[in-house]
Structures are given as C-alpha cells and as structure tokens.
Amino acid sequence: MQKPAETQYPIHDLIRDRWSPLAFDSKPVEPEKLGSLLEAARWAASSYNEQPWAFVVATKEDTDAFQALFNCLAEGNQPWTQDAPVLLLSVAKEQFSRNGKPNRHAAHDVGMANANLVLQAMSMGLYCHMMAGFEPQKARHTLGIPEGWDPLTMMAVGYLGDAKTLSEDLQKREGAPRSRKPLDEFIFTGKWGEAASFAT
Ligand SMILES: Cc1cc2nc3c(=O)[nH]c(=O)nc-3n(C[C@H](O)[C@H](O)[C@H](O)COP(=O)(O)O)c2cc1C
C-alpha cells in the first residue's frame, strides 16, 4: 500500500512516500540495514553536538529484549506492533554533559535523530511507526534507564505487511487518507499569524 503525501509544492520522494503503517511483515530486518538506520540517527545534528540520544533496540529474535519493550507499549499499540520485527525506544539526556545545565533542545535533537532514522529506513524499503503510547515509568524500571534520561518515543520498524491481517478497525485506520494543515496555517512572516505569500 502506498499513501503518498498530497503536497502544495514538490518534495523529496522519501518524505512524500513515508507514512506510518500498522501492518508490518514479520520478515526480519537485515542486521546491516538495522545498522544503517542507527548510523543515520547517529549523524543527526544536535545542539552543541551534545548527541543527547540513546536507543534501546530489540529484534523479534531476541525474545526477552523484544518482550521487555513490547510490554511497555500502551494497549492500543500492542495489537499491531506484535508482528513488527524491530522495536526501539529513543531516550533523551536531559542535561548537557559539558556543564550539567538543562538541555532545552534534547527532545528536538532526539526527534532529529529519529527523523534521520525514519528517512534512512524509507530509502531501504523499510517503514517506521513512532509511538508516544507507552509507559515511560515502566520503561525506566524494566530497562534500567537512569535518572536524567527521559524515555521519549517508541518505534516499530519493518517491511510493510498485508493490511488484511489487521482487525477491521485497524484496517480502517490503515486505509484512511493522510492529511496535513495547509502551509498558510502555520507559516508566518513578519508577525505571528501573518501568512507568508510564499507559503500559500
Ligand atoms: C512522537 C510521535 C508519537 C506517536 N504516537 C503514536 C502512537 O502512540 N500510536 C500510533 O498509532 N501512532 C502514533 N504516532 C503516529 C502518528 O499518528 C502519525 O505519524 C500521524 O498520524 C501522521 O501520519 P503519517 O506518519 O502516516 O504521516 C506517533 C507519531 C509521532 C511522531
């Protein structure tokens, strides 16, 4: 299934074609491809080059590690993630290593790393579905995440699966069109709320 973005201006194919599927094929992700995804995350830009990210990654073959991550997911995310071959959790370091001060951009930079990962995945025929629906405290406890590190986002990664394997409800979600606000609703110039002529 393809769900390309309907754009107001042309964009790169990888960005246009990325979407967050619910149906994943159980086919494992090749270790070298998984390595490339994490390498792409590694090379994200970050404030002061702090690289305030860590990832807890589990492949389906590593049953205990996979189950540990899976158990942290919200009930609503479990039915469709169970077939995904890879689960991961991105974690943000809350203070700068250089001076111990709060890093206001930690979540931004972990988002940058995740965006790199997701687009690298698309370039290799892999899809990602990010999730806020998990229990951070459970993740902290189960995975031994230290204080000062914030369990931020979970993600399912894998090849596209067959939507017919999903429940009726999930099939509806899978088939729903993707939508975005129009550019002029959030691109301003001069002053907040003033739409820019180049973004209409
Ligand atoms: C940080 C973040 C958290 C998300 N949490 C969930 C989630 O818990 N469950 C879910 O099904 N989708 C989740 N999503 C997926 C979004 O719903 C999805 O990206 C959005 O609807 C846009 O669809 P698209 O990615 O196909 O363009 C999340 C996405 C992001 C970036």
Query: Which atom from ligand 1 is nearest to the alpha carbon of 22?
Result: 11
Expressed in angstroms and rounded, the spacing between residue 196 Cα and the centre of ligand 1 is: 28
Q: What integer pLDDT is reported at residue 200 of this predicted model?
A: 82
CATH fold of 13-165, please? NADH Oxidase (3.40.109)
The residue nearest atom 5 of ligand 1, judged by CA position, is 131
- The per-residue pLDDT for range 125-181, each reduced to its tens digit, is 999 999 999 999 999 999 999 999 999 999 999 999 999 999 999 999 999 999 999
- Mean pLDDT of the 83-92 span: 98
Q: How many residues does the chain have?
A: 200
Tell the residue number behind the tokens 């390498």, with chain if given: 39
The residue nearest atom 27 of ligand 1, judged by CA position, is 19
- The per-residue pLDDT for range 3-56, each reduced to its tens digit, is 999 999 999 999 999 999 999 999 999 999 999 999 999 999 999 999 999 999
Expressed in angstroms and rounded, the spacing between residue 68 Cα and the centre of ligand 1 is: 21
User: Which of 22, 115, 28 lies closest to 77, judged by CA?
Assistant: 22
Does the CB atom of residue 55 touch ligand 1 within 6 A?
no
In the chain, domain spans: 13-165
Find the helix or strand (DSSP H, E) in which 174 lies: helix 168-175
- In one-letter notation, the amino acid at residue 146 is P
- The per-residue pLDDT for range 96-107, each reduced to its tens digit, is 999 999 999 999
